[in-house]
Amino acid sequence: MADKRKLLVIDDEPEIGVFVRDVALDLGYEAIAIHRPDSFEEYFSDDIDLVVLDLIMPGRDGVELLRTMAGRASTASIILISGYDIGVLHSAQKLASEQGLHVVGTLTKPIRYRELEDMLNAIVYPPKNRPHDAIELLEFPSEQELQRAINNDELEPYFQPQVNFSDNSLVGVEALIRWRHPAHGLLMPNIIIPLAEQFGLMDKLSAEVLQQAFKQVSEWMAAGLKTRVAINMAPCNFKDLNLPELIDVKIRQYGLGSDQVTLEVTETTLMQELIKSLDILTRLRMKRIKLSIDDFGTGYSSLQQLHRIPFSEMKIDKSFVMRATSDKEALAIVKMTILLGHELGMKVVAEGIENQETWDLLSDLGCDVAQGYFIAKPMPGRQLPEWVRNHLQ
């Protein structure tokens, strides 16, 4: 059949290659196993959907083959295997994604049938002929288009609920930008934000999100739903020392209380304008606006920042949360982050809760607030009141 998925497995231990191949054949793949890394180029082609790659092989290791794939701008999904410790897998995974490759999973030997089967079944392949976002970016949208989108209200924040672990009650929502593009459909931040940065439109975009989000919160209030909103800040927002005053004015304009607003910043954002950021953040807190440190664990010099900046909340990055039930190291990071946050008097939010198992684990660990697809995906503002009625009461 022409539409079968194609898998290529490379492992110097032939029996492992054959095992992976057989599991894939059982699942309806077209599959080839090779055990000599030197023959990789002979078998690898752009129509391969999934490459299962052993990292440690004599002669040419998996990292070299990843480099080859990156050089060909491969869009294949990749599963990495290693007999070694999970640390090696993690660093190879990171290296691969920094080269634009798409690692969908990692396995340690011995590989169990069920584990591999589950992993293969869970892969969501990108649609054919629509490779990377990066490649699409070359075709669209232009600066004028983004400018027009801002003027024509094509940009719109979606809102993702955050709930208390203790009683499932609504804590607030996070505003996440979306672009309703007339030709390309709903575009996500991974496309919008790099474009806005490239064209120097990030300031405008941030102002737009803030305005629309505050307006939405005031409309919800008028309809009897009082809640908080968290807004993501960009590095350029910290160039203007007037930021606290500007936000304060907007808060009043929409009739909100400062305690209804949280600003999310990442460690990386702060590093770019450290002194100004400190000044601005201190004054924001003096105005009783909450500050949240986003994607905690992924940036620089975290501990020093935490000591200096009056954060009220810490968000554990979803890359750790999503792995916490299956990966010992991720679990250790999650546990320590919760302890640290609490010791510093902050609320701890876990983002990326995708299933009951992760909810239960984070809840047992004493995490305060949950955000993730398991609770709800980001949604247009008008849908929130109904979601609250259906899910929380």
Which residues contact ligand C2E by CB under 6 A?
Answer: 160, 175-177, 188-189, 193, 206, 209, 232-234, 264, 294-295, 318, 351-354, 371-373, 378
Query: Strand, helix or coil at 333?
Result: helix
Instruction: Point out which span in 1-9, 70-78, 251-259, 291-299 binds Mg ion (CB under 5 A).
Output: 291-299
- Taking the C-alpha atoms of 166, 169, 172 and 173 in order, what is their torsion angle to the nearest 10 degrees? 100
CB closer to Mg ion out of 39 and 268: 268
Q: Is 232 in the site for Mg ion (CB under 5 A)?
A: yes
**How far apart are CB 356 and Mg ion at their closest, in Å?**
21
Among 264, 267, 313, 368, the residue binding Mg ion under the rule CB under 5 A is: 264
CB closer to ligand C2E out of 68 and 319: 319
CB closer to Mg ion out of 267 and 295: 295
d(CA 82, CA 41): 21
**What would the x/- binding string for Mg ion be over residues 327 to 366, using CB under 5 A?**
------------------------x---------------
Contact (CB, 8 A) for 89 and 55: yes
CB closer to ligand C2E out of 106 and 232: 232
**How far apart are CB 354 and Mg ion at their closest, in Å?**
14
- Among ligand C2E, Mg ion, none, partner that 373 touches (CB below 5 to 8 angstroms by kind): ligand C2E
CB closer to ligand C2E out of 41 and 357: 357
Supply 251's token pair: 């808060």
Instruction: Point out which span in 23-31, 217-225, 258-266, 300-308 binds Mg ion (CB under 5 A).
Output: 258-266
Torsions phi, psi for 44 (to 5 deg): -80, 130
Instruction: Point out which span in 5-13, 219-227, 287-295, 328-336 binds Mg ion (CB under 5 A).
Output: 287-295
Site for Mg ion in 295-324 (CB under 5 A): 295
Maximum Cα–Cα distance for the chain, whole Å? 68
Report whether the peptide linkage leading into residue 37 is cis, meaning its omega lies within 30 degrees of zero.
Answer: no
Q: Residue 40, exposed/middle/buried by CB under 10 A (0-12, 13-18, 19+)? A: buried
Q: Residue 372, exposed/middle/buried by CB under 10 A (0-12, 13-18, 19+)? A: buried
**DSSP codes, 320-331:** HHTTTTT-HHHH
Q: Which of 316, 263, 320 is nearest to 288 (CA)?
A: 263
CB closer to ligand C2E out of 11 and 351: 351
Q: Which of 318, 302, 324, 311 is nearest to 350 (CA)?
A: 318
Supply 17's token pair: 């290659």
Residues found near Mg ion in the complex (CB under 5 A): 232, 264, 294-295, 351
